[in-house]
Structure 1
């Protein structure tokens, strides 16, 4: 009999222990991904933010079985291509190991050793491959092929002969003796390597070791089906019964019925569940009983609970999300509890364990897990490196020197090498970016800005960087600004075509205001939850198609139509999309609407505790904060566009991941519209004048929406534009339309489907086809190029080609003497930009472990997330098609302020201090008084010394990016500085060379 007895000992299941704390501790490791509809970027390793970044990624790799950095092979390619330069390796090595003491007498210093090791990346065989190499080849007696001629001559000289006159056979024999002495000296000093150690605590792992059967293969398919059915948001025709009771009780009612489930391993489960239900067992008691049954010792229960939840961490994480954020449910929240989920999984684990042990009595003998063996892999690596590096190998014959050499080699293992190479990889990017900013400052010094006739405020999103640049190139009289894309309007929003209101604000903000879009001709307040006839018809067809009788009729009736639709969407996506929009046009869809933005006198809160609309003082505060923070209030043009953004694409489960992170994964058009309405409000303007901010009567704000997928623009409330501003608004729209064409053309260079010589006038058609193509896995690359954040005046970056890689946050340090505006800005923008950057980092370095793999096998389940095929864990993170062109570097955040002020702000706020001090982002202070830069390193700011490489200069961006798909460097673009004619770029310019 094994540790898993089929019959439980009397009284074992009656002992109740509080497991809530253990579950809460394990829950911190679970993904925090919300359902797809509200997918918002966040730090994948949020639970490890208390650790320094390099320690955190290594620790997480051990917990999750994932990768911490890019592979060594990838870094080898970066070294070979020049993406990592020798100077980067030397700088990293010197910073990591200062000092002049050699590792062994006459050998390299620690820094020199690291630098040479990172330059010499070679494969280290292990296990049977190494045994074969040592036994069947002359690897131990022949100098390595990696040696250069100079080092080869040095080694031959160390044998004490003149090898230019010695016969070849004698030379080989002497060489073999030299290398044999080196090998034996290292092998004698090598430490032994222990075996796997004690068996794991989780019962499943012990059973696997004893029987060779993985109980998860029995449990997981059923648990996946149960979880999907319980959390389903209305997709399933037959809903799971009694879900309102909670996951555990619904499971007991369903699987505790007489007769029992058909699965062999579940025999006897029904009786057990009926007993637990009759005795009123809580989830906590059920967990304790199951851990007892699985013979998990008390001291190992925390580890066992953690391993159990992490075995399907996507589904466990979604249960956790529904428990703590029910407001994010796409349709209806479920009574989910992580403890219930754990209890169900452990009950199934017990059943599977009993079944396996019945069929494998006794089991095979468990292998000795404490066996020690010589560290031959380490000896081989040290053996090769002793040949490659400047060291007298005869010195290594002495045990103390051999041990020191082995210690240096062991300290620079694969993980450490990848960490150091990652630092070198990031250093090259950091140096390039900071040098470009400094060079551009000097390039534009003394330049006078053209008079402003139009202003546009965009989200800080790095995808808007190219649109802002092209707008300024095409029309130098334009000024652009960057502000978080909810524009300070933290609201819950209900549009005319929506069934439920949703928050449009950062996820860390809880909105307290409800804004409703209403038809202009009917100002009757609209109630959340109203439904439309068309939705009911769609639901009826969806449900009917799943029935036997109606399904046959519906399938026959709609079959031909669907064939036409499928052919049209696949072969003529753009034309079919336009045709279907005209055919499906709702006569009432173009009705004029208004936002109920101002709170009516005596208005009461909704049942959710929301206040309808904003008071005039509240609106005044929203507008005032934006004007002061961005510096927009210093000089206002006749037209100010407030441009929110989002993305729409066909057949894209992760569409909301392309939307605006500042609106919680929503689209920023309503926020832009609301802000413009506030800024145009007479009462708000009067309140602003009292605060010293005067909006001229001739200035009009227009809310707009930029679709970053097809580069289209939508404008709101145009019928409200006063006659005096109509011409200026139309001119602004025309200029913006041209900028969108240029932006689309630059974006197309990243798509393999677009030829590199794509004409300018074909760019919009290409991106629109991408948007509506049913088979397009890459409708938009989203944030895949993000790498930099610049918080400061636009004059610092205007005219600098940033390759759509920079979050641009407008901040006027001269208008912020106290630093309060900067503090609020960093608290909002810092975590958002860091979350975007880190999610892309982790989804790239381990697409399977942290990302959700390739899109091709994805299956949307219950409006919750995606699985691979018909059943898998709920995949979290980003698909490979969203990150494949990304460079995984931590965000380089450059802030225009004095280093002392920035240090004080960071130190006073835990969320920023954690991100900065632990290295989750790279922080730079750019002094507005001296223009000096200071980089935050090892707890403080240190001066940055530019390396001073010159940048190329072009008149238009198209001249720099033409014909190239890869990541580009930086360049000066003179057209936006007012040195050009301001006329649209011609197609011929695309082919011109950069000067």
Structure 2
């Protein structure tokens, strides 16, 4: 047979036009995850937000090879636990608009009834060889399935007339004769899949190890001893120079590549021309170029996504961004693909084989007939025994085909979609009913506040606020996004360079630095830093590494063993000693212009600070009745040996710790010039009110306070009382967190909880220092008075908003435009990482290694893993965010029209929106473009005196409860219970 020329023949007509556009189109599908130190939660399916959520989940699953919804096993557990009820299944089936008049087959169920019944009967459907074994080695064709209820079983036995086996065999044969062929798999445009089918050689196994080493070295942020040669020239040119050296690369499949690379470099080929050349050598038709480019980049989405990230946002690099270009990365990968394809095809078909032969073989294979879908037959066979249908009717071929079509229409993906809707329906009803029922309790009076505290909206702060209100009645708490309106580049005393502390979508224009008031950085600390750098560098060299291992190895081994063993007492994670007293360089120096053309603006002007303080105070409703002390509490997390530590920090602060933002806002609110400007606007801050910044460590449940030496004497007593109250609340928050840790006994005394959580933070062997945002499910935007005293199980983002102070709705529009996408990003990253821990998440932490300070790999070489590790999401219940806003439906409709980003998330179902009437308990659920009234089901909530009485001894998700201690009369502190009581 005459064959075309060799795979690498010269073709000067290769056309590079349009390549750049195709790469840009494919780049939208890549992960947008930032490097680890700036990890910010985002929607992994950001490229699909223009589609309805359910459609997007299915499309993305087909593209990425991932799961669209939780497994049927998960939903079976929900059914058993009552987290999905039969009425929820009936409701979602009815909402699908299925025919409820015409039976699928004569005497059988209607489509709506079939759907509801199918969701009630999850069972495993054997696939492939497992199905053949089931049919041949078990009694599946001889005995009625155990899924059939007693009444249905008796009916089938009557139809069988004593011959059960004959009935089932006939039923199977009738269905198999009418069965359609198996559904074809999605065709692949990549030559890799065709080569694998033809030769058994997986070219990705040849290409990926080389590509991972190359891109890892190119993007490295200082871990490597020496930088990659030619790195400043870009990835493609560095690759050509390195692999074009005399002698060529050592990998066998790359023989002959050096000459080709040298020629391309000498002729000055661009990346676009290189990509076009490679696609031509792979015999890719012009109409398939886009699919091949997309699939090639998605074969290693983590590394491709990081290359794209550093190309578009070089400032996010931990140290220094290389000259990253995604099209360079694609060109290198396709060059390697060409070499691997030639190696595989010529090795299998001979030295004169061409890649075009694959098209002929693939076409012949596609034309072959497909077998009947026996998995579908098995499912229909079991359901015919379970559902009310006369098996004799299915002897008619048309009836059997209709039955099989109904079964196929309710396939595994469709069932899981409907079960997800039923799960979310039950959760929505429970949340809204709880909020409605709580309004009778929330109307109780509370004493006037002695201090007020503004926390981040983070759902982890819900428990801290609740315990604080239970045990110190004279407090009023608020919630605002943890940047507190201060979008800044921040550089601390020990930071190498400034980093943004603001939402990811915001580009900060202001630089704020922490400066020493007295003295400078301690000389011993500087010497220690220099010593540590020398040790780190020397340990990677042959001679010094050997000596250091001998001299320091034993000492470090003892330290490592001590940190891996269960800690008996908390140890500090930071360095010892006391640093210098510092301040924030917050106010802009005189003389600097307002345009920032020479870089970021240093500090803020008084009008800018006034605008920030005014917006926050007006939004949360803190415009009058200020207490003598107002705490502004940011949050962060500190843990040892935790690559994803930034994922536990504040998303509103760009994945950083929100303490500096809280400190900056407090300093702005205390600024005399700001207060004078606020008075002119009609917002009066009393002279005897003082703001203090603080930071809550959500891993150790401790709080750091800033600039205490500036607190006036008149407020010192209030600050001491506030710190005692906060310390008590932190103790109880730690205790509540411990109930989710299997290593903590269920009856752990309250007093031992702080030591337990602090020990987890510094234990090198602990993969779960904290669970972060796991369990998030709700966001409530409104007055705290409507939720105070309601146990929300650490599941709700609490955003303060006073509708009475916002007559035009502008404050609410700005608030939702910021809060909606941030909370949705957190919620959706946890959702997708939970439903597919390997596809959307980064799997278990155990084999992870940090790669170039950018991300984690499995072992020594893998794709850069994106998403969250299993140990962060294992307790998470995958639910879309329920956003409850204290506003009229008409106001929310207007906001959705004017804020397209938020409107898209709500209209397409990525967020479930509820309007909560400010003047009553009435609620309206946004459903398919309109608001529909929520009708409470009237379930009574448990009533407990304190939260600890409700959660004590429980491990899993809890419901809601009224906590009366948040409203009881009293003076000062209420006594701390000595032991955990039983849940009511």
What is the Cα deviation at residue 895 of structure 1? 0.4
Judged with a 3 Å threshold, the aligned counterparts in structure 2 of structure 1 residues 120 and 2 are, in CA distance, closer, same or farther, namely farther
TM value normalised by structure 2 = 0.95
Q: Which residue number in structure 1 is paired with residue 303 of structure 2?
A: 315
The whole-number CA distance in structure 2 between the counterparts of 1:185 and 1:205 is 37
User: 5+ unaligned residues in a row in structure 2: which ranges?
Assistant: none
Contact 2:70/2:416 (8 A) holds in 1? yes
CA contact (8 A) 1:473 1:982 kept: no
Partner of 2:921: 931
Measured in 2, the distance between the counterparts of 1:354 and 1:818 equals 67
What's the CA shift string for 1:210-259, capped at 9, x where partnerless?
Answer: 11101111110010010110000011002101111000001111111111
Are positions 1:880 and 2:861 aligned together? no
Cα distance in 2 between the residues matched to 1:960 and 1:508:
39
Deviation at 1:817, TM superposition (A): 0.6
Please name the residue that 1:118 is paired with. 119
Correspondence 1:565 to 2:559: yes
1:991 matched residue in structure 2: 981
Q: Retained in 1: the 8 A contact 2:28–2:47? A: yes
The residue aligned with 1:754 is 744
What's the CA shift for 1:443? 2.8
Alignment of 1:496-515 (within 5 A): 496-515=493-512
CA drift of 1:134 comes to 3.9
Counterpart of 1:305?
293
Whether contact under 8 Å (1:230, 1:247) holds in the other structure is: yes
TM-fit CA distance, 1:520: 1.5
Deviation at 1:85, TM superposition (A): 1.3
The answer (yes or no) to whether the contact 1:2–1:361 under 8 Å persists in 2 is no
Deviations 1:270-311 (A, max 9, x none): 111100000000000000000111111111111111111011
SS in 2 for 1:11: coil
Q: Indicate yes or no: 2:720 matched with 1:730.
A: yes
Asked whether the 8 Å contact 1:13–1:292 carries over to 2, the reply is no
SS at match of 1:480: strand
CA distance in 2, matches of 1:470, 1:562: 41
Post-superposition shift, 1:333? 0.8
Q: Report the equivalent of 1:152.
A: 153
Q: Give the corresponding residue for 1:165.
A: none
| CA pair 286-573 structure 1, distance change in 2 beyond 3 A | same
1:889 corresponds to: 879
Gaps (5+ residues) in structure 1? Answer: 160-170
Corresponding residue for residue 205 of structure 1: 193
Q: Which moved more, 1:3-12 or 1:882-891?
A: 3-12
Aligned mate of 2:247, from 259, 269, 280: 259
**2:447 aligns with one of 443, 450, 456:** 450
Q: What SS is found at the alignment partner of 1:83?
A: coil
Say which is worse superposed, 39-48 or 423-432, in terms of deviation. 423-432
**In structure 2, which of residues 207, 220, 231 is the aligned counterpart of residue 219 of structure 1?**
207
Aligned partner (choices 579, 604, 621) of residue 590 of structure 1: 579
Q: Deviations over 1:17-73 (max 9, x none)?
A: 330111111111111111000000000111111111111111111111111111112
Offset of 1:97 from its aligned partner?
3.2
Counterpart of 2:465 in structure 1 is: 468
Structure 1 residue 471, shift from structure 2 partner: 0.5
Secondary structure of the residue aligned to 1:154 is helix
Structure 1 distance, partners of 2:735, 2:717, is: 28
User: Paired residue for 1:164?
Assistant: none
**Aligned positions, number:** 969
- Aligned residue in 2 for 1:849: 839
**CA deviation string 1:651-687 (max 9, x = no partner):** 0000000000000000000000000000001111111
User: How far off its partner does 1:6 sit?
Assistant: 3.8
Partners of 2:598 and 2:296 in 1: how far apart? 36
Q: Deviations over 1:626-673 (max 9, x none)?
A: 111001113200100000000000000000000000000000000000
Q: Is the 8 A contact 1:759 1:987 kept in 2?
A: no
Find the counterpart in structure 1 of residue 283 from structure 2.
295
Counterparts in 2 of 1:781-860, with a 5 A limit? Answer: 781-860=771-850
Give me the whole-angstrom Cα distance separating, in 2, the residues matched to 1:623 and 1:136: 74
Match of 2:484 in 1: 487
Match of 2:663 among 645, 655, 673: 673
Which string of whole-angstrom CA distances, capped at 9 and with x for unpartnered residues, describes residues 956-992 of structure 1?
Answer: 1110111111111111001111346664444445124
Over 3 Å counting, the alpha-carbon distance change for 1:52 and 1:576 in structure 2 is: closer
Tell me, in whole angstroms, the C-alpha distance in 1 between the residues paired with 2:3 and 2:863: 29
Equivalent in the alignment of 1:168: none
| Residue of 389, 392, 397 corresponding to 1:391 | 389
CA distance 1:568–1:133, shift in 2 (3 Å)? closer
1:549 aligns with: 543
Q: Which moved more, 1:132-141 or 1:335-344?
A: 132-141
**Aligned partners of 1:572, 1:658: CA distance in 2, in Å?**
22
SS in 1 for 2:780: strand
Q: Secondary structure at the match of 2:366?
A: coil
Alignment equivalent of 1:871, drawn from 850, 861, 867? 861
**Cα RMSD (Å) of the superposition?**
2.1
Alpha-carbon distance in 2 for matches of 1:415, 1:937:
22
Give the distance between the partners of 1:114 and 1:206, measured in 2 at CA: 39
Structure 2: distance between partners of 1:455 and 1:338: 50
* Cα deviation, residue 855, structure 1: 0.5
1:10 offset after TM fit, Å? 3.4
Matches of 1:959 and 1:577, distance apart in 2: 31
Deviations 1:753-775 (A, max 9, x none): 11111111111111110111111
Question: Structure 1 residues 195, 427: CA separation in 2 closer, same or farther (over 3 Å shift)?
Answer: closer
| Residue pairs, 1:285-434, within 5 angstroms | 285-361=273-349, 368-370=365-367, 371-434=369-432
Q: CA contact under 8 A between 2:231 and 2:323: conserved in structure 1?
A: yes
Secondary structure of the residue aligned to 1:704 is strand
SS in 2 for 1:374: coil
Question: Is the 2:629–2:718 contact (alpha carbons within 8 Å) kept by the matching residues of 1?
Answer: yes
With 858-867 and 563-572 compared, the bigger mean Cα shift is at 563-572
Q: Residue 80 of structure 2 aligns with which residue?
A: 80
